[in-house]
């Protein structure tokens, strides 16, 4: 039996995300290969077309049901899509309810990280690429608005986090989590 036949049997010839029955095709859930039915999902053309950048947010309310699928590949797709829709209150609520086994969570995050790597990189003042977990040093005194202190030049900020904006990073200075402008930092 081919992988597609296994998926059609598993799903009852329906899209594993929205339940539609028209124009179904196999999708290997990255970064896994299409070498096993466990690494694939059967999706309709509409779901496959919007998977990378969801446009019709109401269509994705179907994830309320499909996120509870016992199939790890479907759980991964539901989690990733909800992450992309996290500006919607209902999507954040579903994401808060969704529990994934640790290995499935790693699979979901690995694929999302690979997609995000295609974006614009965050660069320090010297043009060096910054990544989550790096340590950086401030190259000038920065007034921290709302916290009532100035982050001094030469301050080391360890274990930074990247943001959606490639010009900003997040890190702890004086025990306070703040957003820093990358052009005022250099990789330590």
Tell if the pTM clears 0.85, that is, is over it. no
Task: Output the six-digit token pair for 171.
Answer: 């890190």
pLDDT of residue 132: 80
Q: What is the pLDDT of residues 8-55, one digit of tens each?
A: 999 999 999 999 999 999 999 988 888 899 999 999 999 999 988 888
Closest CA to 42 of 67, 63, 25: 25
Distance CA 90, CA 101 (A): 22
- The closest of 3, 14, 29 to 110, measured between CA atoms, is 29
* Collapsed DSSP state (helix, strand, coil) of residue 44: strand
Can you give the pLDDT at residue 13? Answer: 96
The residues spanned by each domain of the chain are 3-116, 122-187
pLDDT tens for 125-144 read: 999 988 888 899 999 998 88
User: Which CATH number describes the domain made up of 122-187?
Assistant: 2.30.30.40
Tokens of 12: 């009852």
């Amino acid at each position: 039996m081919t992988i597609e036949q296994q998926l059609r049997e598993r799903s009852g010839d329906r899209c594993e995300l929205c339940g539609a029955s028209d124009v179904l095709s196999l999708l290997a859930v990255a970064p896994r290969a299409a070498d096993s039915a466990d690494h694939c999902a059967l999706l309709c053309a509409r779901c496959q077309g919007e998977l990378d950048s969801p446009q019709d947010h109401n269509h994705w309310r179907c994830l309320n049901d499909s996120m509870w699928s016992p199939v790890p590949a479907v759980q991964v797709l539901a989690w990733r899509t909800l992450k992309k829709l996290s500006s919607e209150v209902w999507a954040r609520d579903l994401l808060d309810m969704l529990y994934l086994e640790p290995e499935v969570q790693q699979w979901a995050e690995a694929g999302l990280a690979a997609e995000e790597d295609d974006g614009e990189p965050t660069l320090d003042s010297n043009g060096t690429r910054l990544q989550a977990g790096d340590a950086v040093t401030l190259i000038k005194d920065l007034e921290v608005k709302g916290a009532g202190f100035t982050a001094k030049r030469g301050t080391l900020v360890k274990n930074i986090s990247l943001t959606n904006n490639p010009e900003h990073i997040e890190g702890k200075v004086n025990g306070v989590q703040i957003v820093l402008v990358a052009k005022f930092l250099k990789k330590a």
